Structure 1
């Protein structure tokens, strides 16, 4: 249902949260508070219990998780945990300065790839395999520093955008070959805040600090001409393609770029936002959530593209007396927050290298058992909580709802 949102959890006294990440549609959420930005808390929000908490040397800028790994990103380092027992598997030290905490973790835990910036001066992407704990490839994606990264659902493609915000590129994973190049615009640089593939991987959406959200279609024109037929556009495209080998790289690259397949116009520009493509009631929809607490739902024409129509507007936080509506909607007020815990402030002293836990008392700084002590699997201070329990934390395939299922997004 798109005309109504259900509140999954509400806390009467929430902490000053600035990061919330949920494990698909499970009850497991990761929370970082502005009051203690070096501490990460993991909760079972339906039970109202804290599973564990970890502290790190510096402020946490991003947390990503799938059913295999939990990744914590600091400005100059990245920590990779085994999500089943929170053991620290690897620490990537002295990574390129990353003050925005930019990184992407694939939702596919079989191909659990992590992408993050490899340079502060240009857009190099490092792709790390969090299963084998090794670097897979390094991609020179852009001339300017990176601004956004996103994997598709199968982790076979990686999309990227730079701080200039004019060009979006898609690369194959793990090969790192460029597959697509899309031009968002040429007149001005923008700050691209979000990239997201559709569940089937056929479309890619991008939002920025402007009022327009772009949707690109990922399709290769057939070499035999079956897909591009005898149209004037296809003819000109073939001429450009043939001529590109004789032109400077900058010119040939611009000629090969594809424009947006569809666009959606927001009611205002400026507030930071995130976008995603989902299937609701068997129809493709574009969802855009803004930093001021609004959710916009657009209808998308998967055949013809063009301008997306606004179907519904919901306020996620607070009350909006002047609720804006789509042509057939009624807005709804929803507050979505996480349960706080009395043990939240009881954090151990920060270590010199690596995280510690104030809850898993039998664990050392690297997540292993102290002095050879055997810790019962998944035994936490709040009682046994099995993080890989199919019933409590179902895999992504079995937790898809009418909104298209979760992809590790914030609640």
Structure 2
């Protein structure tokens, strides 16, 4: 999960991404990069290049010394159409990959390197850098691409048709060119009518979440049955979805948008099982709302079948990404303006989350990049997102 800030930076930060298990996040800056522990929060490491050159795309490999870069900013360290594999222990370039167009994003796992450009996703073996696969996509300016990090190798990206999602299952040891095995592709054609804006995969590789550019609906699809499992409603008005993230257990989904609100949804597991929170929110919240408006369900069936979020948290910035903390009922929020929030939600009562921590990690506020515990800002004045059963039935 990542956030590209190059088009409109508010400070030295050009790019932010979490590592594969969300234990760290890394910032590409106008002068180098910084690595932070996500929970507990602290600056782990920073490197400023001598010539003050910038990184527009950064990706960590778990908590190792291996990173992937692409240049960016006012004085790019590397060309923006190149991916550089970097060994920070020895401060050297391990390898380079060149492309005809600008690199939009990079994803790593212990055996693969995946690079997204505007209309294509490229899959390489990490050890040999042999090209293993290439996938054509619709226009993908965000470089949307999700790569599993566990034993199963699953890749998700936009399909060739607008609103579709392509799921690719690779055999074990796919990163080894000598290993036999064929990939298997599944296209979720009816994910959305509008272009896809965010995607996520749960740790068990059984559920995929998608949101479109309209940003009103998040759909959860069950991969084994290739069917819609849940339809989750963020709000009534359009919004830009910045991130979708499943909790490690798959019980919850966090969604962030430019409305300044992080939403936590309870997720129903494949096979009919539910989390404790889902049982409460569905039966006591969503179901009651449906039953009280049953007469209108024939007119607006899609609207009333969607479920509202269990918990919400509001931030000052409109560009941010969210992941779950060490405690399964906490959420880590990293903002473009250099703000860090840790918030807790009640899995039974839901509602407004409680802020537990606030830090500022941008250069201007943190004394040259050292993470600073800043004074907490006042509660943000954000327009309340509609959360009742009313309004337009326009879906995404």
With structure 1 as the length reference, what TM-score do the two structures score?
Answer: 0.69
Q: Does residue 163 of the first structure (1) align with residue 213 of the second (2)?
A: yes
What is aligned with 1:344?
none
The SS at the match of 1:185 is: coil
Post-superposition offset of 1:176: 2.3
What is aligned with 2:156?
115
Q: Deviations over 1:252-278 (max 9, x none)?
A: 121111111000010x243x2111112
The SS at the match of 1:85 is: coil
Q: Tell me the number of residue pairs that the alignment of Structure 1 and Structure 2 aligns.
A: 314
Taking the aligned partners of 2:305 and 2:147, their CA distance within structure 1 comes to 29
Taking the aligned partners of 1:294 and 1:229, their CA distance within structure 2 comes to 30
The SS at the match of 1:253 is: helix
1:3–1:312 contact (8 Å) kept in structure 2:
no
Post-superposition offset of 1:222: 7.3
**Deviation larger for 317-326 or 282-291:** 317-326
1:9-408 alignment runs, 5 A limit? 9-13=46-50, 15-34=53-72, 35=76, 36-93=79-136, 95-108=137-150, 110-119=151-160, 122-131=162-171, 132-186=182-236, 188-219=237-268, 236=288, 239=291, 247=298, 251-266=300-315, 268-270=316-318, 272-279=319-326, 282=327, 284-320=329-365, 323-325=374-376
The SS at the match of 2:46 is: coil
The SS at the match of 1:141 is: coil
Post-superposition offset of 1:75: 0.8
Q: Deviations over 1:212-243 (max 9, x none)?
A: 110001137779xxx57997758746858998
Q: CA RMSD in A?
A: 3.1
Structure (1 or 2) with the larger CA radius of gyration? 1
Post-superposition offset of 1:42: 0.7
Bigger share in strand: 2
1:222–1:228 contact (8 Å) kept in structure 2:
no
1:9–1:45 contact (8 Å) kept in structure 2:
no
The SS at the match of 2:307 is: coil
Taking the aligned partners of 2:127 and 2:118, their CA distance within structure 1 comes to 25
**Deviation larger for 45-54 or 70-79:** 45-54
What is aligned with 2:179?
none
**Deviation larger for 38-47 or 164-173:** 38-47
Taking the aligned partners of 2:305 and 2:353, their CA distance within structure 1 comes to 25
